[in-house]
Chain A
Amino acid sequence: MTPLLSVQGITKRYGHHIGCADVSFDLYPGEVMGIVGESGSGKSTLLNCLAGHMTPDAGQVVFDTRADGPRDTVTMSEPARRMLGRTDWAFVHQNARDGLRMGVSAGGNVGERLMAVGARNYGDIRAQATDWLGRVEIDATRVDDRPTTFSGGMQQRLQIARNLVTGPRLVFMDEPTGGLDVSVQARLLDLLRGLVRDMGLSAIIVTHDLAVVRLLADRLMVMKSGHVVEAGLTDQVLDDPQHAYSQLLVSSVLQV
């Protein structure tokens, strides 16, 4: 089986500082990969390099495109990479305001990706937008309301709907539950787990919340100071951490 995403030796430096160094892994279709680590450990840098928001200094990000098979997204042309960004890829920001157009109605937010790939029938666009609002548990009567009138949890769910409407195959998530209260987090995680399983999505989730990866991720990478210090199955890493930092991370979780 061809990996959906094959990452080899991704390195990004900020001057003398290391963003992330020599990260390699394969992600197979339907697999969810978690990346955990403390603040400044290079998780977000890595994610941005993978999603094409940043150009890595070295390494390859080979994505199995629908049309042409495996292609290196670092060296592919910018139009092709941006096209991937609105079709086969999705990016869920930590702060929903970064991923939404706050001045545009919920329906317009969801419809934007459809229109970006050529949908020109208002009725169809609106029907799909309404359908997706339902899937992320937003009432259909809110379709013409602006995201500014939504709660934090609703904004995050709207952002997810907006990203998944074109049926992407790979979703990048940067702390999708950050800044939400725990009950809203729980519902969002439940929703995400359902969507990922139903649509057979592959996902890369960056988080510092071990509960999130425990629930969603099949595999886990632990990062520290830009390096991957441990990788393996989620349960294996969390239940039997080998590296000193992983042990610290696992033992730092407060037990209620």
Chain B
Amino acid sequence: MTMQNDAYNFAYLDEQTKRMIRRAILKGLAIPGYQVPFASREMPMPYGWGTGGVQVSAAVLTPEDTFKVIDQGADDTTNAVSIRTFFERTAGVATTTTTRNATVIQTRHRIPEEPLTEGQILVYQVPIPEPLRFLEPRESETRKMHSLEEYGLMHVKLYEDIARHGHIATSYAYPVKVEGRYVMDPSPIPKFDNPKLGNMAAIQLFGAGREQRIYALPPYTQVVSLDFEDHPFVASKADHPCGMCGAEDSYLDEVIIDDAGGRMFVCSDTDYCEGRQTAGHKGKDAA
């Protein structure tokens, strides 16, 4: 049963708010990687639970869309389930867990393993949109650094990593440069996913609710992960096959299975893993 006809406008937000958010999205698409300020609304969930992503999703959803939500790659975690239910109730859109069938995918901390196609929209939940935040606390100064393209400081962070750990230890929210211009925080996706950001067929939208920023990557945008000549970027993952489906090419979660040091590695993308198991692939831990 849906409530949108009596209790809520389609997809919860009122049309003027959606209009405002769409303008920010269009501006973001026109200037890839640039953080567009927008008047973020109070949402019926706490900050940090994806208020930015939900607002962006609400603004782009149409009644014909099929919606998928993933949290750390999984369709069945609290955050994913609650946001999916939210839009089932307030927009009445069809929902799915199959990456291929979705037209709008809201994600927290992952990009699906299956390559996205033209016509799909990937919406990221972003906690901190400013890649320079922890190096330069003054927002007035970071904005100036973006506008004047002064990005030396970003490499200071990577330098510190190498000086302290011997290699670039930043493993998520790894900074990227978009179309040779803006340095962007790709949200806390693992750096394993960074190569998928560039040249993607789908539209990528990033919403930060608490910080009131939206940014975007149009399809087929050049995205380069920052690095040093003698310490190049490496997209890393746990060096195991998936215990359930045996995949060697997917990003893995480490799961502790007993109190005797037992553990297994499974795909963080549940849809990808189930798809492979249905197709007959079996990992060593599969029942």
Contact in complex: B152, A108 (CB < 8 Å): no
Task: Give the segment of A113-121, A190-198, A210-218, A227-235 that binds chain B.
Answer: A113-121
* Residues on the A chain within 8 Å of B160, using CB: 104-105, 108
Is A144 close to B, CB under 8 A?
Answer: yes
Digit string of B132-151 for contact with A (CB within 8 Å is 1, else 0)? Answer: 00010000000000001010
* Residues on the B chain within 8 Å of A143, using CB: 163
* Residues on the A chain within 8 Å of B228, using CB: 120-122
Q: Which of B148, B155, B162, B164 is packed against the most chain A CB atoms within 10 Å?
A: B155
Contact in complex: A112, B163 (CB < 8 Å): no
Residue of chain B at shortest CB distance from A144: B163
Contact in complex: A111, B159 (CB < 8 Å): yes
Known: A121-B230, A122-B162, A144-B164. A112 touches B148 (CB 8 A): no
Interface residues of A in 98-144 (CB under 8 A from B): 101, 104-105, 107-108, 111-113, 115-118, 120-123, 125-126, 143-144
* Residues on the A chain within 8 Å of B164, using CB: 105, 144
- Number of A residues near B (Cβ < 8 Å) is 24
Residue of chain B at shortest CB distance from A118: B152
Digit string of B197-234 for contact with A (CB within 8 Å is 1, else 0)? Answer: 00000000000000000000000000000001111000
* Residues on the B chain within 8 Å of A78, using CB: 148
Partner of A108, one of B163, B229, B231: B163
Is A79 close to B, CB under 8 A?
Answer: yes
Is B286 close to A, CB under 8 A?
Answer: no
The total of interchain contacts (Cβ-Cβ below 8 angstroms) comes to 54
Is A53 close to B, CB under 8 A?
Answer: no
* Residues on the B chain within 8 Å of A144, using CB: 163-164
Q: Tell me the complex Cα distance, A164–B230, Å.
A: 25
Is A82 close to B, CB under 8 A?
Answer: yes
Q: Tell me the complex Cα distance, A23–B84, Å.
A: 67
Q: Tell me the complex Cα distance, A131–B160, Å.
A: 18
Contact in complex: B230, A108 (CB < 8 Å): no
Whole-angstrom distance between the Cβ of A133 and the nearest chain B Cβ: 13
- Number of B residues near A (Cβ < 8 Å) is 16
Is B26 close to A, CB under 8 A?
Answer: no
* Residues on the B chain within 8 Å of A117, using CB: 152
* Residues on the B chain within 8 Å of A118, using CB: 152
Whole-angstrom distance between the Cβ of B168 and the nearest chain A Cβ: 9
Q: Tell me the complex Cα distance, A245–B285, Å.
A: 87
Partner of B150, one of A104, A111, A116, A122: A116
Digit string of B155-192 for contact with A (CB within 8 Å is 1, else 0)? Answer: 11001101110000000000000000000000000000
Interface residues of A in 70-101 (CB under 8 A from B): 78-79, 82, 86, 101
* Residues on the A chain within 8 Å of B150, using CB: 82, 116
Contact in complex: A121, B229 (CB < 8 Å): yes
Q: Tell me the complex Cα distance, A112–B156, Å.
A: 6
Contact in complex: B229, A120 (CB < 8 Å): yes
Contact in complex: A116, B230 (CB < 8 Å): no
Known: A78-B148, A116-B150. A104 touches B231 (CB 8 A): no
Binding site for A on B (CB under 8 A): 135, 148, 150, 152-153, 155-156, 159-160, 162-164, 228-231
Query: 10 interchain pairs (CB within 8 A)?
Result: A79-B148, A101-B156, A104-B160, A108-B163, A112-B152, A120-B229, A121-B229, A122-B162, A122-B228, A125-B159
Interface contacts beyond A116-B152, A120-B229: sample of 7 additional A-B pairs, CB < 8 Å, sorted by A: A104-B156, A105-B164, A111-B156, A115-B156, A116-B150, A125-B159, A126-B159
